[in-house]
Amino acid sequence: MIDKELLEVLACPVCKEPVELTADGKGLKCVKCDRIYPIRDGIPIMLEEEAYFEGEEGSSSEAEETG
Ligand SMILES: [Zn+2]
């Protein structure tokens, strides 16, 4: 779990806006650009290249059909 005080000092590296904990508590979502920064071992990864958008995570593209 992320401390509320820590949350207050964190900001999106892209737009410098505050982030908020996602509903499942597994990420921090920027209030402006909706990027979600993952939390690994309790440490928020505030990197643009690590961020993802909702519905993007863990998407395996095996559903490709040839026909
Ligand atoms: Zn942002």
Q: What is the pLDDT of residues 7-38, one digit of tens each?
A: 899 999 999 999 999 999 999 999 999 999 99
Whether residue 67 is predicted with pLDDT greater than 60 in this model: the reply is: no
SS (H, E, C) the chain: CCCHHHHHHCECCCCCCEEEECCCCCEEEECCCCCEEEEECCEECCCHHHCECCCCCCCCCCCCCCC
Q: In the sheet where 19-21 sits, what is the strand order?
A: 19-21, 27-30, 36-40, 43-44
Whether residue 60 is predicted with pLDDT greater than 90 in this model: the reply is: no
User: What are the chain's domains?
Assistant: 4-50 (2.20.25.10)
Spell out which residues have Cβ within 5 A of ligand 1, the ion: 12, 14-15, 30, 32-33
Q: State the distance from the centre of ligand 1 to the C-alpha of 5, rounded, in angstroms.
A: 19
